[in-house]
Amino acid sequence: MLSVVVPCFNEEQVLEAFNDELHARLDELGEPYEVVFVDDGSTDGTLSLLRAFAFRDPRVRYLSLSRNFGKEAGLLAGLSEATGDHIAIMDADLQHPPALLGKMLDLRREGFDQVVARRSRNHDGPVRTLLSRAYYRLLNHWADVELVDGAGDFRLLSRRAVDALVDLGERNRFSKGLFSWIGFSTVFFDYQDTPRAGGNSKWSYPKLLNYAVDGLVSFNSRPLRLALHLGLLLSGLALIYAVWTVGAVLIGGVTAPGYVTLLVAITGFGGMQMVLLGLIGEYIGRVYYECKQRPHYLVSERQPADVTRPPALRTRSS
């Protein structure tokens, strides 16, 4: 059976069109399927639409989280709930074309555990495209896993790949890295990206920057080692400068130090120290959140209702 996991956050404007298109394409496949929607604390009419979808079609199920826990939590909730042998992940804005599911299913039947649709960047602005490509080069140079530019959440996974993802216990999740970390046989194919069918993207530049930092520190400790190397380099330069200054005093006598040089040095080194402390704080903060062992998300409503327990927390171990 094929499961389609669809995380949603304030997708009221596009959800009806997406649901119609998705079911039309799934019916063409002739494969038993289920659709698992995850409402990640939407504040518009998304949840009302999901209730209507589930009422009309028993193949549709949904989870409603108690608040907005973020993309990673919504994705984990859907994967934990899916029961199929093949599990597809899609966005609800129609930028992931449902028409590609047939091709993905064919490749999955060839034995690949991950079938990944890699989008072009035709509808991204030049600045965003340039920054994205530079980021992937930097990340692949530093990280312990390899990420493919244009490869996102739109993919079809085997049951064992999904089980491996769900069983990962870390709280600070970066799915793109986790997809690569679990390994298994993977195949990529390219497709032309399309603009959103409606509404606005939830990814502002500040959110993208935070997501980029998550990816950078989630799969390596090289920034910390770089800080160590930088500290050793600066200490060495300071020692050389001290020796040079003592030599200059012995040879030419005491001279008045330059005020501008001193001010620039203090400001520059102070800023560098703040950056390094912030970098260390990023890692310590992740350790802090891991130690608290809070659940990834809480479920406030589900359909069909779970008669064995009231709506409560849902984690990898529940």
- Selected residue with higher pLDDT from 308 and 196: 196
- Selected residue with higher pLDDT from 123 and 284: 284
Q: How far apart are CA 71 and CA 81, in angstroms?
A: 16
**Peptide bond between residue 32 and the one before it cis (omega within 30 degrees of 0):** no
The sheet with strand 86-89 has its strands ordered as 186-191, 114-119, 151-158, 86-89, 2-8, 33-39, 60-65, 299-303
- Selected residue with higher pLDDT from 149 and 78: 78
Q: Using 50, 70 and 90 to split pLDDT, how confident is the model at 37?
A: very high
246-253 average pLDDT score: 66
Q: Using 50, 70 and 90 to split pLDDT, how confident is the model at 307?
A: very low
Q: What is the dihedral of CA 101, 72, 111, 182, to 10 degrees?
A: 160
| Cβ(38)–Cβ(124) below 8 Å | no
> What residue type is 15 in one-letter code?
L
Question: Taking all residues of the chain, what is their mean pLDDT, rounded to a whole number?
Answer: 75
Q: Does pLDDT of 107 surpass 70?
A: yes
Helix/strand/coil for 262: helix
288-309 average pLDDT score: 69
200-207 average pLDDT score: 58
Question: pTM for the complete prediction?
Answer: 0.67
pLDDT at 150: 67
Q: Does pLDDT of 309 surpass 50?
A: no
- Selected residue with higher pLDDT from 169 and 45: 45
Q: Does pLDDT of 200 surpass 70?
A: no
Q: Using 50, 70 and 90 to split pLDDT, how confident is the model at 113?
A: confident
DSSP state of 109: H
pLDDT at 219: 63
Q: Using 50, 70 and 90 to split pLDDT, how confident is the model at 313?
A: very low
* Chain centroid, CA 20 distance in Å: 27
Q: Using 50, 70 and 90 to split pLDDT, how confident is the model at 81?
A: confident
Q: Using 50, 70 and 90 to split pLDDT, how confident is the model at 93?
A: confident
Q: Does pLDDT of 311 surpass 50?
A: no
- Selected residue with higher pLDDT from 75 and 202: 75
Q: Kindly report which listed range (106-110, 132-136, 169-173, 283-287) carries the lowest average pLDDT score.
A: 132-136
